[in-house]
């Protein structure tokens, strides 16, 4: 999220200076693709102080903006986010941005049609998911598997950290009915969901088969991330809708795009069981797996 804020500030300064990206790249003697990566908050961009100062001088940045951007870019050199240790080991590069956004979000809403969301998965359940074709690892990669599961466990700590995000989840009934692994794994997983719902910042609703056709049937699984507001009540980041596929992901942050997913969410939330009835259904399913 820090890099996205840096990129947005640089883009704003460039436009205020009346420069196109091509003009700025030419005057800075840098590739247009490099400026594009900076303004889009790419994770792998390195901010050398001399390069940052050159951009600030070209854009005619104020002393206040210069001081802020020099401090922000310095932070990217000095601090290493915890997930960097997993790059190349079960963490696709297109997923890195999501991890950063998730860590900075104040409210995360997730709809899943087939799987328990990663933030609620047990290690045993996650292992079954990762072993499937298209998962993060193959059947032989035991070390990759260990690190991928460890990453998922690390991500889950954000739910119990100081000032955690609000997590709102809607799951299709298929998520609790379709066995993943054996009955022991499923019983443990459903009990894990119930345990998570006891946290004050976690809610889970089940969209039952009897709800019939719903808006999520057209969209598939997605997440909506919202971010804190500053002292003036302004969002530090615009909301983002995240859609994941087998080989990549889509990040949507234009107002009309996130508005569309808010509408989809509202339709599903109105059709899903409330929290209490959802917990009862999950508890019932867990007991069925335990006695199977």
Contact 239, 166 (CB under 8 A): no
Query: How far is 175 from 169, CA to CA, in rounded Å?
Result: 12
The reply to whether 175 and 281 lie within a common domain is: yes
The reply to whether 75 and 88 lie within a common domain is: no
The reply to whether 70 and 41 lie within a common domain is: yes
The reply to whether 206 and 184 lie within a common domain is: yes
The reply to whether 127 and 149 lie within a common domain is: yes
The reply to whether 97 and 74 lie within a common domain is: no
- When divided into structural domains, the chain yields a total of 2
- Least Cα distance to 172 among 97, 281, 65, 90 occurs for 281
Predicted local distance difference test score (pLDDT) of residue 139: 47
**Beta-strand pair 107-112/166-172:** parallel
The reply to whether 223 and 119 lie within a common domain is: yes
The reply to whether 106 and 47 lie within a common domain is: no
Predicted local distance difference test score (pLDDT) of residue 20: 93
Query: Where among 52, 79, 106 does a domain terminate?
Result: 79
Predicted local distance difference test score (pLDDT) of residue 81: 60
Query: Where among 22, 48, 79 does a domain terminate?
Result: 79
Tokens of 168: 């709102």
Query: Where among 79, 97, 121 does a domain terminate?
Result: 79
C-alpha dist (Å) from residue 195 to 187, 192, 202:
12, 5, 10
3-state SS string over the chain?
Answer: CHHHHHHHHHHHHHHHCCCCHHHHHHHHCCCHHHHHHHHCCCCCCCCCHHHHHHHHHHHCCCHHHHHHHHHHHHHHHHCCCHHHHHECCCECHHHHHHHHHHHHCCEEEEEECCCCCHHHCCHHHHHHHHHCCCCCCCCCCHHHHHHHHHHHHHHHHHHCCCCCCEEEEEEEHHHHHCCCCCHHHHHHHHHHHHHHCCCCCEEEEEECHHHCCCCHHHHCCEEEEECCECCCCCECCCCEEEEECCCCEEEECCHHHHHHHHHHHHHHHHHCCCHHHHHHHHHHHHHHHHCC
Query: How far is 137 from 128, CA to CA, in rounded Å?
Result: 10
The reply to whether 99 and 215 lie within a common domain is: yes
110 DSSP β-pair partners: 169, 223
In the chain (292 residues long), the average pLDDT of successive 10-residue segments reads 83 92 93 91 86 94 86 75 56 73 92 96 92 59 74 89 95 97 96 97 98 94 92 83 85 92 97 98 97 86
Predicted local distance difference test score (pLDDT) of residue 150: 83
The reply to whether 33 and 98 lie within a common domain is: no
CATH classification at residue 24: 1.10.260.40
The reply to whether 149 and 19 lie within a common domain is: no
Contacts of 140 by beta carbon, 8 Å cutoff, 6+ apart: none
| Positive or negative: CA dihedral 220, 171, 127, 85 | positive
Predicted local distance difference test score (pLDDT) of residue 89: 55
171 DSSP β-pair partners: 112, 206
**CB atoms < 10 A from the CB of 63, how many?**
8
Domain that holds residue 56: 2-79
Q: How many residues does the chain have?
A: 292
Predicted local distance difference test score (pLDDT) of residue 85: 58
Burial grade of 39 (CB within 10 A; 0-12, 13-18, 19 or more) = buried
Query: How far is 252 from 226, CA to CA, in rounded Å?
Result: 12
The reply to whether 166 and 209 lie within a common domain is: yes
């Amino acid at each position: 999220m820090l890099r996205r804020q840096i990129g947005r500030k640089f883009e704003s300064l460039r436009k205020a200076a009346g420069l196109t990206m091509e003009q700025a790249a030419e005057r800075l003697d840098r590739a247009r693709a490099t400026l594009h990566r900076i303004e889009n908050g790419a994770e792998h961009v390195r901010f050398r102080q001399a390069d940052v100062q050159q951009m600030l001088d070209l854009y005619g940045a104020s002393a206040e903006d210069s001081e802020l951007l020099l401090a922000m870019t310095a932070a990217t050199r000095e601090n290493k986010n915890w997930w960097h240790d997993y790059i190349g080991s079960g963490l696709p590069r297109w997923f890195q941005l999501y991890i950063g956004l998730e860590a900075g979000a104040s409210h995360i809403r997730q709809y899943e049609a087939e799987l328990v969301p990663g933030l609620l998965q047990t290690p045993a359940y996650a292992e079954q998911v990762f072993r499937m074709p298209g998962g993060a690892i193959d059947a032989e990669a035991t070390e990759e598997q260990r690190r991928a599961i460890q990453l998922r466990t690390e991500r889950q700590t954000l739910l119990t950290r100081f000032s955690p995000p609000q997590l709102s989840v809607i799951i299709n009934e298929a998520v609790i009915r379709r066995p993943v692994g054996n009955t022991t794994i499923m019983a443990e997983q459903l009990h894990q969901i119930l345990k998570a719902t006891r946290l004050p910042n976690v809610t889970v609703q089940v969209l039952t088969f009897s709800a019939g056709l719903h808006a999520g049937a057209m969209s598939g699984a997605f997440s909506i991330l919202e971010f804190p507001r500053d002292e003036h009540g302004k969002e530090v980041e615009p909301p983002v809708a995240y859609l994941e596929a087998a080989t990549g992901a889509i990040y949507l942050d234009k107002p009309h795009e996130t508005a569309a997913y808010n509408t989809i969410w509202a339709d599903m939330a109105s059709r899903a069981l409330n929290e209490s009835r959802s917990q009862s259904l999950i508890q019932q399913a867990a007991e069925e797996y335990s006695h199977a």
